[in-house]
Amino acid sequence: MKREMSTVFSEVYGTYYNVVAKVLAQAIEGRLSAEGLQELVRAGGYGDSALQLLPALGEGTWRLLTPELTTPLQNKPTMPLTLLQKRWLKTLLLDEKIGLFFTDEQIAQQQAALQEVEPLYKPEQFVFFDRFVDGDAYSNPRYRANFREILQAVREKRLLNASYRSNRGTIIVWTDLLPVSLEYSAKDDKFRLQAIAERKQVTLNLGRLVSVEAGEAAAQVKTLKKSELMRQRLVLEIEDERSTMVRALMHFSDLEKETEKLDETHYLLTVQYDKGDETEMLFRVLSFGPTLRVREPESFKELIREKLREQLQ
């Protein structure tokens, strides 16, 4: 199952399939040229795609194209969903967070289309032992409406006006918020809005939003860089025991990261995270035990020392 899923949901193979489909579609229509073949591969693939796809297609390795750049195929290629993909989609439909991105009518249509499909996993099969239990109310109509308004504002680069309930219960009114991103915390089971208010970072929990309204387009979003937020760099050294490297890549899959192989059993993993998530990152790192060591920064090392001293006491 693992090998099949790693192939079916591979970004590389998915891209190759789509590129080859475009090439064959032009060949069926009789308008494929050598220059056009190279352009389709380079425009739709990766930097090394020409080395992989052009010989396989142009030299007849795959026997999909003739030397005259025609094809024995008569129908344009399609990519129907496999049973595994349908089961995966059915699993996603069972997640209550799916209602944040689709309307009830859209979800009902997809559920009807996959009515006879058994989900790959069911929600009750997952047990979260290291997550807070007061997650956001994803099925709440007001929460869903606020989420979609924010998501649309992020996509369309629009300013936001929001009413927000603070920890003390008071209502704070934010005007002309510049939305940067929506982020999900697996530890807290909450969504947060990262925004800029008067050139200062603002982090708002969506569960505390009373109301939100998108305003005018914000031209300055084009020059706003993610680095203007409180980004932190964490360098981790991994000893690859009991598949620690694979587990780490999955554990930090929501973060921007780079990997470097040191030797057969040791790796460097550099991740970028938000300063506001430092406590969460501390627990995430500690969960790996001695197979993961922090190289830098020194400030994060000190946080680990403090936490360990607290535990000893």
How confident is the model over 68-111, as pLDDT tens digits?
Answer: 999 999 999 887 888 888 999 999 999 999 999 999 999 999 99
Of 147-161, 224-238, 257-271, 280-294, give the lowest mean pLDDT range: 224-238
Distant-in-sequence contacts of 21-26, Cβ < 8 A, 24+ apart: 21/76, 21/77, 21/78, 21/79, 23/57, 23/65, 24/64, 24/65, 24/71, 24/73, 24/76, 24/77, 25/76, 25/77
pLDDT confidence of residue 220: 57
Q: What is the average per-residue pLDDT within 290-300?
A: 90
| Amino acid identity for residue 97 in this structure | K
Output the six-digit token pair for 5.
Answer: 């899923």
Q: Which one is predicted more confidently, 235 or 185?
A: 235
Give how far Cα 31 sits from Cα of 34, 70, 128, 239, Å.
10, 9, 55, 54
Residue 211 zone, left/alpha/beta (φ > 0; ψ -120 to 50; rest): beta
How confident is the model over 129-181, as pLDDT tens digits?
Answer: 778 888 999 999 999 999 999 999 999 989 999 999 988 888 988 888 888 88
Confidence class of residue 222 from pLDDT cuts 50, 70 and 90?
very low
pLDDT confidence of residue 219: 67
Confidence class of residue 217 from pLDDT cuts 50, 70 and 90?
confident
Q: Mean pLDDT across the chain, nearest whole number?
A: 85
**Sequence spans of domains, the chain:** 2-58, 83-125, 141-227, 230-312
Confidence class of residue 230 from pLDDT cuts 50, 70 and 90?
low
pLDDT confidence of residue 227: 47
Q: What is the average per-residue pLDDT within 189-216?
A: 88
CA 279/CA 289 separation, integer angstroms: 16
CB 273 within 8 A of CB 300: no
Domain 230-312 maps to which CATH number in 3.40.50.11900, 3.40.190.10, 3.20.20.140, 3.30.70.240? 3.30.70.240
pLDDT confidence of residue 284: 86
Q: What is the average per-residue pLDDT within 241-254?
A: 84
Report residue 137: phi and psi, to 5°.
-90, 85
Q: What angle do CA 45, 51, 55 make, to 5 degrees?
A: 105
pLDDT at 254 over 80: no
Q: Domain 141-227, CATH 2.40.50 — does that match?
A: no
Query: At what angle are helices 49-58 and 11-28 packed, to 10 degrees?
Result: 40
pLDDT confidence of residue 115: 94
Confidence class of residue 224 from pLDDT cuts 50, 70 and 90?
very low
Question: pTM higher than 0.85, yes or no?
Answer: no
pLDDT confidence of residue 307: 86
C-alpha Rg value of the chain to the nearest Å = 24
One-character DSSP codes across 115-157: TTPPPSS-GGG---SSS-S----TT-HHHHHHHHHHHHHHHHT
Scanning the structure block, which residue is given the tokens 């869903």? 144
Q: How far is CA 43 from the centre of its chain?
A: 23
Give the residue from 259, 248, 257, 306 showing the smallest Cα distance to 282: 306
Output the six-digit token pair for 198.
Answer: 């008067």
